[in-house]
Structure 1
Amino acid sequence: MTIWSKLAIAGLAALVPLSASAETRVTYKSASAGTSYYQMGVQIAEAIKAGSDGNIIVTLEESQGSVQNVMEAAVRPGNYVFTTPPGLVGLAQAAKGPFDGKGNPKFDEIRALFPIPSLTMHFIMSTESGVTDFAGMEGKNILIGKGSFGATEGAKYLELFGLKDKVNLADVELSNAGAALKNGQIDGFVTAGSWPAPNVIEAAAGTGVTLLSLSDDQVAATKRTRTVIPAGTYAGQDKDVVTTSLDVVAFATTAMDDETAYQMTKTFWEQKEKMSADAPWWKGVTTDMLASIPGKIHPGAQRYYSEKGVALTDAQK
């Protein structure tokens, strides 16, 4: 081998770490595998890779829930991105609720990037039950699940609407809701997820269902965001359904550099239209949802929103 060949090989070897270092790696912690939010994480990872020409690689991690996601923000270094309702970040920073006695100054370094599809409440009744409004749920077998946002919120709504102890809560796993509805084991179920929710699609396709709509007074009583599920979202749904939702946001921390946060945010919004074509739940995501974020937005993301003329509040800067 000539000296020139050796030099050429050495030069190529020297380039390898340079090209590897040009690739930014991001950890994205989302939800349990099989859920709509885990599927969203897969889509975001693919979209960021495609939109950045492979310069940003997102590794998706399964999660047991939003509280865990927030807790890990205190110990994860570098480019850690996670999803959670903004209110949980506020509770962590105040060491309240599930974070009581678990306060950490690192929580103050959490910064928002962009919103993702909201957790939307669905109240599903079989057509055979004849139920078309909340009052009609009295005496019926209803599945609300347990341990999830949907279960907690569902129980709250039953109490708010005067149905506490007036419905029979079914002891069935929420994952079996479609089958239980079809065989008559339950009359209806409550679930929270982005629309169209996979378990509601399954139930609507396998059994005639009615989605219950909330009145304006009922929406106000919940203190949640008014949300409309458009007609035709589910099989047999011939009119808009008014319900409520809880906003969900992708967060990072100040450990992420401004350029990475800028590129992540920019690429997300540029790829959203394509993601919407693949999964309709992205269609409801708009920059208007940034108003639901009470805390600070990452400076890198702020730069993108400034370029697009999206107004942010002083508290978000």
Structure 2
Amino acid sequence: MMRKSVWMALAVSAALFLGGPASFAGEHKISGSFLMGTGSATGNYYAFGSALAQVINRHTGANITVSSTGGSVENVRLLKKADIELALVQTDVNSYALDGVEQFADGAVNNFSAITACYPEMVQIVVSKASGIKSVPDMRGKRICVGAVGSGYEVAARQILGIYGMTYDDIDERFLSQSEAKNALQDDQIDAFFMCSGYPNANVTELSLTGKIDVISIDDGHIWLLLEKYPFYAEYATPDDQYKLGHPVNSVAVMSMLVALKELGEDDVYAITEAIYENLGELRGVNRKAEHMSLENPFRGIPGNIHPGAARFYKEKGIEIPNM
């Protein structure tokens, strides 16, 4: 089923085995080949997508290949053109696409459905200690990177500033990618940057080794306002101190989610969902972010639009499907 497109030039095979040939006894097979959109080749989406592909391929016989892309927004646009069959996207971007707002104000994209929520992506506000920024209001008049133009976390930056009664008029906004923002902060070209990423993030970890950065919290009152206004967010607190800050960070997160084209066969998506959840321990062994996945709540941040193949699997497990 894989379509030939320019994205194939970026594809890297994820059909890796954990040792020895796969056995499909008692498991549902997939004979097709599929392309999965992820994110930057050095980012969390690419690594996690590769882990998903590895486990699914091993247990279904599928040939899922992961592709390095620009992330959630670009993945939705690739799905719209049916250049990819599977993708990782953020729950907020999923909502914008289905509603035809923000990056998709020129038209809703609804030719894809959800398979499962994966792991939380924390909104991280990284600041230079020299900037004196201790809170979001302290950003007034400062050089702030709000993300790449049209990115999911650029919207998050606007939403968080807005909750504090601020706009880009209150800051010196800069539009940079995650890696560009890291370098710019390191070179004192900006005072802070917003990003949305699984915790910990390698770029922030690298910056933290200098001892010259901090990651600031959103206060409880404004977290509550964000959750009330934007239901795709969830409260998130750092579980440890991997950035060596000496304090916890309280913020919000969106969930990463795995989606598939609606035209992808029900049996194939059932097999994909089954392979993930029947082999969750194996997936966690390949990528620890899978520790956030559980059949107790596979729809975090996903109000509906569940693919029929995934829905069949969940119903067999006695799980209620949202808005189905």
Identify the TM-score tier after normalising by the shorter chain. 0.7 to 0.9
> How far, CA to CA, are the matches of 1:163 and 1:82 in structure 2?
33
Q: 1:272 to 1:237 in 2, by over 3 A?
A: farther
User: Runs of 4 or more off by more than 6 Å in structure 1?
Assistant: none
Asked whether 1:220 is paired with 2:224, we answer yes
Match of 2:24 in 1: none
SS of the residue aligned with 1:292? coil
CA shift, 1:277, in A, is: 4.2
1:250 to 233, 258, 261: 258
**Between Structure 1 and Structure 2, how many residues are aligned?**
289
Q: Is the 8 A contact 2:93 2:152 kept in 1?
A: no
> 1:126·1:207 contact (CA, 8 Å) conserved in 2?
no
Distance in 1 separating the partners of 2:73 and 2:223: 25
- What is the match of residue 89 of structure 2? 84
Deviations 1:205-227 (A, max 9, x none): 23343221112221133334233
The equivalent of 1:66 in structure 2 is: 72
Q: Name the CA distance, whole Å, in 2 between partners of 1:170 and 1:101.
A: 24
Secondary structure in structure 2 of the residue aligned to 1:310: coil
Change (3 A) 1:101 1:201: closer
Shift of 1:123: 0.7
- 2:234–2:254 Cα contact (<8 Å) kept: no
* TM-score using structure 2 length: 0.75
8 Å CA contact retained: 1:200, 1:234: no
Label 1:139 to 1:276 Cα distance change in 2 as closer, same or farther (>3 A): farther
Shift of 1:71: 3.9
Match of 1:14 in 2: none
Moved more, 130-139 or 39-48: 130-139
Structure 2 unmatched runs, 5+? 1-28
Structure 1's unaligned 5+ residue stretches are 1-20
Alpha-carbon distance, 1:99 to partner: 4.2
1:83-112 Cα offsets, whole Å, 9 max, x none, are: 3345555555555554455467xx3x5321
Q: Equivalent residue for 1:25?
A: 33
Is 1:115 matched with 2:117? yes
> Which amino acid letter does the alignment assign opposite residue 80 of structure 1?
E
**Residue type of the partner of 2:259?**
F
- 1:222-267 alpha-carbon deviations (Å, 9 max, x no partner): 3342332424252213443221122332112342222221221122
Distance 1:279 1:61 in 2: 18
Quick one: which amino acid aligns to residue 252 of structure 2? T
Q: For 1:97 and 1:184, how far apart are their aligned partners in 2?
A: 31
**For 2:185, which of 155, 178, 181 is the aligned residue?**
181
Q: Does 1:196 find its partner at 2:204?
A: no
From 151, 169, 193, the equivalent of 2:154 is 151
> Could you state the TM-score of these two structures normalised by the residue count of structure 1?
0.76
**SS of aligned partner of 1:221:** helix
Match of 2:316 in 1: 307
The answer for the alignment partner of 2:129 in structure 1 is 127
Indicate how the Cα distance of structure 1 residues 280 and 163 shifts in structure 2: closer, same or farther if over 3 A, else same.
Answer: farther
Shift, 1:193, TM fit: 1.3
1:137 aligns with 2:139: yes
Q: Share of identical aligned residues, percent?
A: 21
Structure (1 or 2) with the greater helix fraction: 1
Q: 1:289 to 1:124 in 2, by over 3 A?
A: farther
Q: CA RMSD in A?
A: 3.1
8 Å CA contact 1:229–1:240 kept in 2: the answer is: yes
**Which residue in 2 is equivalent to 1:262?**
270
Q: In the TM superposition, what is the alpha-carbon distance from 1:291 to its structure 2 partner? A: 4.3
1:158-184 CA distance string (max 9 Å, x none): 243245444443576542333433343
> Which amino acid letter does the alignment assign opposite residue 147 of structure 2?
G
In structure 2, the CA distance between the partners of 1:139 and 1:71, relative to structure 1 (3 Å rule), is closer
Q: Contact 2:79 / 2:261 at 8 angstroms: preserved in 1?
A: yes
* In 2: Cα distance, 1:128 partner to 1:33 partner: 31
Distance 1:151 1:89, change over 3 A: closer
